[in-house]
Structure 1
Amino acid sequence: MSDDQHEDRYIGQRVRAIRARRGISQQVLADRAGLSRGAVAKYENGERPIDSRRTLLALASALGVTLGDLTDHEQDKLDPATAGFHAAVPELETVLWSRGNITDTRPAQSLDELAALTRTATKLRHDCDYATLGPMLAPMLTDAYHHVRETEAEQAWDVLGTVAYGVASALRARGYYALAWTAAQEAESAASHVGAAAPIAAAAFIQGQILLSRPGALPAALATTVGTAEKIAADVRTGGEIETYGMLHLQGSIVAATMGSDPEPHLAEAAEQADRLAEAEPNTSVARNESFGPANVALWRMSAAMERREPGQVLALAPTLSPVALPNEGRRAQYFVEIGKAHAMQRNYRESLYALLRAEHAAPQHVRTMSPVRELVGHMMRTARRDLTTGDLGKLAQRVGVVPV
């Protein structure tokens, strides 16, 4: 193994370091996590990638840490490609803490202007252009709070809930889970003032996503998403309501798969809702999730199969879904990531690399910071043939940060 490969970074290294600081053996950690000691040893030595959310959550819980403690790469915040987002986080934090009651000399945008801007921000978020999105969020949130203070009108609360949901989603995607939860609670509060199904579903969806990142919180994640879906099911009529309600069931499918349960009932319900979209009533709220639809349901079916460690099922589903049919770059990237993970699980590293490169091309800011991608790329660097490691794989390893540039 080369010197560069000795310097690579993978989650098992952090597991080993934290375990050593805790003063526990591999056997004790294995017992706490429900794993074999041999598996823990392979994770720590880099012989096996930690490519399962369930395993990652089990290890984090057994060590008493968060997922971020195991997966976080501080150098992400120094990456010029995403520095604009990270630089905007302190201001976002201030706006959330103060609920927009800050020193701000800008003229506030009108509610109609703000509603239109949320659509631009949503597209940027779905396409994973966080560098452009980041500086937009604090001014949007400040203006939304301003309108709520000025009018207390339902439209103002509706816009605030949608902006807060977008802020929470972006913060979660970049690893700021605690602050994302604060934003999600603001979205939930705004939704309660509106009382419509779509903003309620959107707030529950992002809360479920954040809870999925916390060891021990899977039951809460499932209760939040599926429980909310059951409460609002009778009121789901408009396009936005169908979209946000359907996304609750997609999120429920991933939580169920992570818990070792059957995701199919949630996927089937989501598919049924996607079929309703063509004849749905017009929206009454600005809250919606335009990424929802038949293609996205098919993608989440692939993700659920991957979570259940069924690579053959993932690769069987992949040809039935054209990436062009997916609604945005983020979803297209996820499609290729799932294929890459499935090929890697079957030790077909060349096809895995090809899929990961296509994912990176679709959404580079997102894919280069995904811990499963880093784990797979690092594992391939340690185990693949030299003709792969010295070519595109080696370059990708540098771009995702698993080996030094």
Structure 2
Amino acid sequence: MLIARVHEWEQQMTGIDHGDMFVGRQVRVIRARRGLTQQVLADRVGVSRGAIAKYEAGERPIDSRKLLHALAAALSVDIGDLTGHEHERLGAPATAFHAAVPEIETAFWTAGNITDVAPARRTDSLIDASKHAARLQMECEYATLAPLLPALLTDLYRRTRDGSPADQHAAWDALAQVAFSTSIAMRARGYTAVAWSAAQEAERAAQMIDSLPGHAAATFARSQVLLSRPGALKAALDCVEDTAERISSDVRTVGEVQTLGMLHLQASLVTAASGGDPEAHLDEAAEQAARLDKATASAASILGNPTFGSPNVALWKMSAAMEVRDADAVLHLARQLDPHTLPTAGRTAQYFVEVGRAASMKRNYPASIHALLRAEHIAPQQVRNMTHVRELVGHTMRKARRNLTTGDLGRLAQRVGVVPA
């Protein structure tokens, strides 16, 4: 295989074995640095020594949150220490996103009090820009979104201080939405500290105007960040359950129903990742989706989550089933859900990722590759940055027939960073 020959040549010339990139390789390196045997690590994680050996050799993918959290906790590292790769910050479109991060941080740290004294944009223009930013985040167009955020955040902060009372209220509302979108985008690209700061600012903005959907959106964002941290699953679940219980009796508008429904979807995923039964939260989310047609529109707020609805609930059911590694349930649910009914490119791509993961578990590697390629085509910036996609592609390369690894799969492996391009 050409890729293998390139690796062999590089190793001979440089003395470095790059190999393909997978979480098990990082586990092996960190375990060795910690002076731990495979048996000690296995005992800490609660699996057999043979399972650890297979993970480290790349014979079995590490593609569940529960296992990834257990390994990170056992090795005393962050999730990013096991999953991060330098290629994620190199080359377009990643460069445009990462270059904007310091300015986004500055916008939050200064709350708009920066050296540049150019006048802030009009409130109606800022509201339009905030809606545009939300759409970019939902479509996973992160490279386009990030450069827009520093000036948008700065201008919104200024309007919360300098505008009329009505302008200030609208600016706080838009700031809650933009801070939420920023948090989701930052977490997706591995900047969990910035994502947490953004979620906190979304919550502060919601408090300033007593915005129910703002509180719900900020809680969702915080739970998403906590879900990426080992040892934080209980906190990730408690915050969404507590907020959902506190606001449920006051939910009336479309935006309120949408954000409450998303809290229950997040709770379902965290519950599944914790080894629990997510059905109660999924059922509650389905009930909220059924309320949307009768909910009233809110003229006072742009906050909401238009991705929420019955198709999205069905998609999260697939994700919850995948979290407990029930491939048959995932494929059964997939047959019942038309992906064209999903509201955004990001959600549609997630559908095909879950199908690809389930097909791989059933050892149907051609179907898995086909689904992953469709997902990547729909939302490349989202899919190429998914740890479980990288794990799955690498595992498939090691298991699939030779003709698969030199064609579409080989090229996909390069794009997601499993092997050097």
Q: Same fold (TM over 0.5)?
A: yes
In structure 2, distance between residues paired with 1:4 and 1:279? 60
1:233 and 2:270 equivalent?
no
Corresponding residue for residue 118 of structure 2: 106
Task: Name the SS of the counterpart of 1:291 in structure 2.
Answer: coil
Task: Name the SS of the counterpart of 1:220 in structure 2.
Answer: helix
In structure 2, distance between residues paired with 1:315 and 1:281? 36
Match of 1:206 among 221, 224, 240: 221
Structure 2 gap ranges (5+) = 8-17
Match of 1:351 among 362, 367, 381: 367
Give 1:29 deviation, angstroms.
Answer: 1.1
Equivalent position amino acid for 1:116 in 2 = D
Give 1:116 deviation, angstroms.
Answer: 1.4
1:129-168 alignment to 2 at 5 Å? 129-151=141-163, 153-168=168-183
1:255-294 alignment to 2 at 5 Å? 255-283=270-298, 284-294=300-310
How high is the TM-score relative to the length of structure 2? 0.94
Match of 2:188 among 173, 182, 200: 173
2:55–2:61: 8 Å Cα contact kept in structure 1?
yes
1:111–1:159: 8 Å Cα contact kept in structure 2?
no
Corresponding residue for residue 367 of structure 1: 383
Corresponding residue for residue 10 of structure 2: none
Corresponding residue for residue 117 of structure 1: 129
In structure 2, distance between residues paired with 1:372 and 1:22? 25
Task: Name the SS of the counterpart of 2:158 in structure 1.
Answer: helix
1:4–1:403: 8 Å Cα contact kept in structure 2?
no
In structure 2, distance between residues paired with 1:261 and 1:374? 26
Give 1:79 deviation, angstroms.
Answer: 2.2
Equivalent position amino acid for 1:25 in 2 = T
Match of 2:262 among 244, 247, 251: 247
1:144–1:163: 8 Å Cα contact kept in structure 2?
no
In structure 1, distance between residues paired with 2:195 and 2:254? 26
Task: Name the SS of the counterpart of 2:116 in structure 1.
Answer: coil
1:300-315 alignment to 2 at 5 Å? 300-315=316-331
Give 1:36 deviation, angstroms.
Answer: 1.4
Match of 1:342 among 352, 358, 370: 358
In structure 2, distance between residues paired with 1:176 and 1:104? 26
Match of 1:395 among 411, 414, 417: 411
Task: Name the SS of the counterpart of 2:374 in structure 1.
Answer: helix
1:21 and 2:33 equivalent?
yes
Equivalent position amino acid for 1:299 in 2 = L
Equivalent position amino acid for 1:19 in 2 = R
Corresponding residue for residue 190 of structure 1: 205
1:385 and 2:401 equivalent?
yes
2:134–2:178: 8 Å Cα contact kept in structure 1?
no
1:204–1:225: 8 Å Cα contact kept in structure 2?
yes
In structure 1, distance between residues paired with 2:122 and 2:196? 27
1:84–1:135: 8 Å Cα contact kept in structure 2?
yes
Change in CA separation of 1:4 and 1:377 when aligned onto 2, cut-off 3 Å: farther
In structure 1, distance between residues paired with 2:54 and 2:265? 33
Deviates more, 1:80-89 or 1:251-260: 80-89
Give 1:4 deviation, angstroms.
Answer: 4.7
Task: Name the SS of the counterpart of 1:237 in structure 2.
Answer: coil
Identical pairs, percent: 59
2:134–2:177: 8 Å Cα contact kept in structure 1?
no
Equivalent position amino acid for 1:47 in 2 = E
Deviates more, 1:178-187 or 1:76-85: 76-85
In structure 2, distance between residues paired with 1:194 and 1:41? 54
1:43-58 alignment to 2 at 5 Å? 43-58=55-70
What's the Cα RMSD here?
Answer: 1.2
Equivalent position amino acid for 1:392 in 2 = D
In structure 2, distance between residues paired with 1:145 and 1:309? 44
In structure 1, distance between residues paired with 2:325 and 2:273? 10
Equivalent position amino acid for 1:146 in 2 = R
Equivalent position amino acid for 2:62 in 1 = I
Task: Name the SS of the counterpart of 1:83 in structure 2.
Answer: helix
In structure 2, distance between residues paired with 1:72 and 1:164? 24
